[in-house]
Structure 1
Amino acid sequence: MKISIKVKPNSRESRVEEAGPSQLLVKVKAPPREGKANQEVIESLARHFGVPKSRVTIVAGLKSSKKVVNIEGVD
Structure 2
Amino acid sequence: MFDIRSIREGVVFKVRVQPRASKDQVSGLYEDAVKIRLAAPPVDGEANKALCNFLAKKLGVSRSQVELVAGQTGRNKLVRVTGVNQERVIQALKL
TM-score greater than 0.5 by the shorter chain: yes
Query: Sequence identity of aligned pairs in percent?
Result: 29
Residue 17 of structure 1 pairs with residue 12 of structure 2 = no
Aligned to 2:43: 33
Matched, 1:57 2:67: yes
> What is the rounded CA distance, in whole Å, between the counterparts of 1:34 and 1:55 in structure 2?
21
Aligned 8 A contact 2:20 2:38 in 1: yes
In the TM superposition, structure 1's runs of 4+ consecutive aligned residues that sit over 4 Å from their partners are none
Find the aligned partners of 2:84 and 2:43 in 1 and give their Cα distance: 29
CA distance in 1, matches of 2:33, 2:62: 21
- In the alignment, structure 1 segments of 5+ residues that lack a partner are none
Do structure 1's residue 66 and structure 2's residue 86 form an aligned pair? no
Change (3 A) 1:10 1:55: same
Gaps of 5+ in 2: 1-10, 86-95
What TM-score, normalized to structure 1?
Answer: 0.92
1:16 touches 1:48 (CA, 8 Å); kept in 2? Answer: no
Pairwise CA RMSD: 1.4
Distance in 2 between the 1:9 and 1:74 partners?
26
- 1:6-46 CA deviation, whole Å, 9 max, x = no partner? 00000000012330585211111110000000000001111
Q: Report the number of matched residues.
A: 75
Deviation for aligned residue 1:48:
1.2
